[in-house]
Amino acid sequence: MATPLLTDLRRQWKEAKITVICQTPIDSVLQNHPDINSIYAFKRPKSWLNKFHHYEVIDFLQKGQYDLGLLLTNSFSSAWWFLKGKVQNRLGFADGFRSLLLNKAIPFPKNKEFQHQVITYKTLLGPLAIPVSSTPPQLYVSTQELQEAHHFLHRCGIDLQKNILVGINPGAAYGSAKCWPPERFNKLTKKLLENPNVFVIYFGDSNGVSVVNQICQDLPNRAINLAGRTSIRELIALLKCCSIFLTNDSGPMHIAAALGVRLLALFGSTNEIKTGPYPQGLVIHKHVECSPCYKRVCPIDFRCMTKIKVEEVYEQLERLVKENSC
């Protein structure tokens, strides 16, 4: 969701050296992005009291001699890194004592719960007098990565010129409150595969393997289980090949949106206005009285997701297929 800000920075300062500091595996997601000169990636330490971790980042910043630092996160530690790393101009959102570590602390927009995170990030460009564009999030796949994805799909018997390839992501790293029930994914997939022209690929990280195995255990071989079997870059290339994509509110949802893949996102505990697929994508959200609660695990009856019926999801996917064939 930060890539539109990077694009606007590059348009304003064509010769600037733009470095992104991020946790792994976000560095893999941003690979090949033309507006980024370099990426410094770090693994989140078990404890933020890990002095060695902080000194590594600070040393990197000091050696880089950066003129400007934009803080998209709200953490105290990132502002402290920029201060100790001698970043000359430190710009970020005002949030308690960390504001004292910034040269310019920007108040959060009053309506930030009712605007997309992409727009919220771009408010940081205001003090820099940089024009804000309508550029959507964008990610990039190399020719080689795409060729390897095509070869893999061909080995699976999939002809992208003839077949409809439906990608499905049934997980969400944040917690189970974001996830549509596994048995409904199973039922939906059986319905999709009634069309002999359809293939389905299930994606998921290593933590989602058991859930995807449960979903796929009695599905025909045109349902391919790739949970825990792809790298981030392989995931991105395969998503690019999908005709349509079904997902919970998750990282792969944002990746697919940034690749321009037609998608349907299922929302329950979170707010699609703030973190939905941007700039477009179909969303089903029942807006029950307790949603959005932002909880990791539902403490009651999971009504926000159980109210989403298989038939409704199937109808919306059919709509996307028809749009994709136009």
pLDDT of residue 104: 94
pLDDT for residue 49 is more than 70: no
- Spell out where the chain has E strands: 19-23, 38-42, 68-71, 89-93, 104-106, 164-169, 198-202, 223-225, 244-248, 262-267, 282-285
**Percent of the chain clearing pLDDT 90 (strictly above):** 82
Higher pLDDT, 43 or 238: 238
Q: Which of 36, 32, 60, 96 is nearest to 233 (CA)?
A: 32
Average pLDDT, the chain: 93
pLDDT of residue 96: 82
Mean pLDDT computed over 205-232: 96
Angle at 15 between CA 13 and CA 17, to 5 degrees: 95
pLDDT of residue 46: 67
Distances (CA, A) of 139 to 31, 43, 237, 252, 309: 8, 22, 10, 12, 32
Query: Dihedral of CA 294/299/302/304: which sign?
Result: negative
Mean pLDDT computed over 201-224: 96
pLDDT band at 31 (very low <50, low <70, confident <90, very high): very high
Distances (CA, A) of 308 to 188, 269, 271, 283, 297: 12, 13, 16, 11, 18
pTM above 0.75, yes or no: yes
Mean pLDDT computed over 177-198: 96
Higher pLDDT, 114 or 271: 271
DSSP three-state, residue 125? helix
pLDDT band at 51 (very low <50, low <70, confident <90, very high): low
Read off the pLDDT of residues 290-303 as tens digits, 9 standing for 90 and up: 999 999 999 999 99
Read off the pLDDT of residues 79-137 as tens digits, 9 standing for 90 and up: 999 999 999 999 999 988 889 999 999 988 777 677 899 999 999 999 999 998 889 99
pLDDT of residue 279: 87
pLDDT for residue 326 is more than 70: no
The one-letter amino acid code at 125 reads L
Query: Dihedral of CA 292/297/302/307: which sign?
Result: positive
Is-contact 171 208, C-beta < 8 A? yes
- 6 vs 63: CA distance, rounded Å: 22
Query: Dihedral of CA 37/42/43/46: which sign?
Result: negative
Domains in the chain (CATH in brackets) are 3-128 (3.40.50.2000), 143-325 (3.40.50.2000)
pLDDT of residue 50: 63
pLDDT for residue 77 is more than 90: no
The one-letter amino acid code at 92 reads G
pLDDT band at 259 (very low <50, low <70, confident <90, very high): very high
pLDDT of residue 175: 87
pLDDT band at 280 (very low <50, low <70, confident <90, very high): confident
